Amino acid sequence: MLPGWSSETVDGHVCEVFEPATPSPHGFAVIYLHGMHQKSLSDNAVYTSLFAQHGLRVVAPITRRSWWADRVSPDFDPARSAQQYVMESVLPWMAAKWEIRPPQIALLGTSMGGQGALRFSFKFPQIFPTVAALAPAIDHQSRYDDEDEEILPQMYDSPESVRQDSATLHLHPLNYPRNCWFACDPEDYPWHESADRLRSKMYASGILYDCDLETSAGGHTWEYYNHMAPAAIAYIAERLERERLRVT
């Protein structure tokens, strides 16, 4: 782990936690949702430097191949879904440790975690009004019948049931996050197509969003995630500050 990172056991599961040397005076924090790769940010110098620069505390739950859904995944926990864990365990832990509560908390995700971050924010826009997603695997029902896909068929009974639980179908034109940014490399097949479909729905519904579906920097890879990291973290930092100044 790079300096500033540590492992914490939160309600029976490991989370990786980053505390910058100089935390934001306003308590800004990020929940990072990992992808199918399950790769940590604790050894990623690019993200660690950006978190430190903006004073962002980070909690990165490890839920394995859970798709961050409100469905029990045998790869994570036999009784609780990843959604339940984040909402019922991670958020209270952050409040107890740092006195940090929504809307001081932004969501950030890559790949599987990107779609998870969008789904969380679309389902709970008042709790997570700020979200940034890199290479979000939105239409993941396309993986259901893959030979190497073991988890989705244990969580859902059909590709259609996966689609019904996708981020796009949780988006409501009258109740959506105020700060939504997503990006996907044009060479990232098939996830670019599903990100573009989300963009079209948001545009047609008059929903405010920001996205970059044009920058190409390696496809569905960490080369791309690292290339886009400055834009993603700057967006999060700026929008958390905007939320702080927002008149309610």
Average pLDDT over residues 63-74: 97
DSSP helix/strand/coil, 29 = strand
Peptide bond into 190 cis (omega under 30): yes
Q: Under a CB-based contact definition with an 8 Å cutoff, are residues 188 and 219 in contact?
A: yes
Average pLDDT over residues 199-215: 97
CATH code of 190's domain: 3.40.50.1820
Say yes or no to pLDDT of 232 above 90: yes
- In terms of Cα–Cα distance, which of 24, 209, 191 is closest to 130? 209
DSSP helix/strand/coil, 33 = strand
pLDDT (0 to 100) of residue 248? 66
Give the integer Cα–Cα distance in Å for 134 and 220.
9
Confidence of residue 147 (pLDDT cuts 50, 70, 90): confident
Say yes or no to pLDDT of 37 above 90: no
Confidence of residue 247 (pLDDT cuts 50, 70, 90): low
pLDDT (0 to 100) of residue 237? 98
Give the integer Cα–Cα distance in Å for 196 and 211.
9
Average pLDDT over residues 12-27: 97
Say yes or no to pLDDT of 222 above 90: yes
- In terms of Cα–Cα distance, which of 56, 57, 11, 59 is closest to 33? 59
Average pLDDT over residues 35-62: 96
Give the integer Cα–Cα distance in Å for 153 and 144.
6
Say yes or no to pLDDT of 174 above 80: yes
Show the domain range for 230. 5-245
CA distance readout (Å), 10 to 60, 92, 195: 11, 10, 32
Give the integer Cα–Cα distance in Å for 185 and 134.
9
Work out the number of other CB atoms within 10 angstroms of the CB of residue 19: 18
pLDDT (0 to 100) of residue 246? 87
Following DSSP, what letter does each residue of 53-77 receive, concatenated?
A: HTT-EEEEE---S-TT-SS--TTT-
* Domain count along the chain: 1
Work out the number of other CB atoms within 10 angstroms of the CB of residue 162: 22
Instruction: Please write the tens of the pLDDT for every residue from 104-124.
Output: 999 999 999 999 999 999 999
